[in-house]
Amino acid sequence: MSLKYLPLVGALAIAGQAGAKTINMTDFQFGPPVTVDMTNTAEGPSYDGIAGAFQGDEVAVPVVGALLRSSAALSAVDPASFTAWCAELTQSFSFGVTYDYTQVSGTSYFTGQKAADLSRLFTATHGIVFDSSTSAAMQAGIWEIIYEKGTAYGFATGNFTGVPEKAGDQAAFDTINGYLTHLSDYKADYRIDVLTNGDHQDFLVATIPEPETWALLVAGLGVLGLLKRRRRA
């Protein structure tokens, strides 16, 4: 199935350190997607088409295969599944095709504020995306944060607005819109990274650190603090 006309984004369940990723998008996560209409009245893209989360695999490439990544003979080894969302509206990709990406931090790809607001959106909506309607609304919310030039977010205000094509999907949009208008009430608990490819769609990666990761981070900060105190002494 090819979706070259579709700009989509991602939230990998396997985000790690910045570096090369070989990925293959396979299908929509919640079945047939919902159509949305996103309008941009400022400089920047608008979009009228299908949207929503979809499934993909991160492909581990063997050493020999790494030298042949452009070859049709490339084989997948130990694929790791992830859920994807869209980080831009100006590029495309196709399902069932293997692409090479570079993973960068959300702060370097967007701005620190945009990355923090995207993190808050994922924190606020944790566990509520469960079907094609909520999936499309979530994608629209991600685009709203990325492309809104003002300081407040919402599907009905600012330069970037959005609505679902069918009235039956409006309730999901209203739910996400409620979170967008109250993002400051939520913590930025999720790590935001982006998989980038100059020729194809970029993917947003949203993951929440495991408890042991937080423990290591706190321990690391403690060591840094101790070293600073010793230097002052």
* Per-residue pLDDT tens listing for the chain (233 residues): 334 334 433 334 344 445 788 999 898 999 999 999 999 999 999 999 999 987 888 987 654 444 444 444 334 344 678 888 999 999 999 999 999 999 999 999 998 999 999 999 999 999 999 999 999 999 999 999 999 999 899 999 999 999 999 999 999 999 999 999 999 999 999 999 999 999 999 999 898 876 544 444 445 445 445 555 555 55
Query: Residue 97 falls within a domain, yes or no?
Result: yes
What is the spatial distance between Cα 81 and Cα 20, in angstroms, rounded to a whole number? Answer: 16
Q: What is the pLDDT of residue 197?
A: 95
* Phi, psi (rounded to 5 degrees) for 51: -150, 155
What is the spatial distance between Cα 94 and Cα 200, in angstroms, rounded to a whole number? Answer: 9
pTM over 0.75: yes
Residue 93 tokens read as: 């990709």
Is residue 191 classed as helix, strand or coil in its secondary structure? strand
The amino acid at 233 = A
Q: What is the pLDDT of residue 225?
A: 54
Query: Residue 3 falls within a domain, yes or no?
Result: no
Query: Residue 1 falls within a domain, yes or no?
Result: no
Domain count of the chain? 1
Residue 178, domain extent: 9-232
Distance between first and last Cα of the chain? 64
> Residues 18, 58, 6, CA angle at the centre, nearest 5°?
95
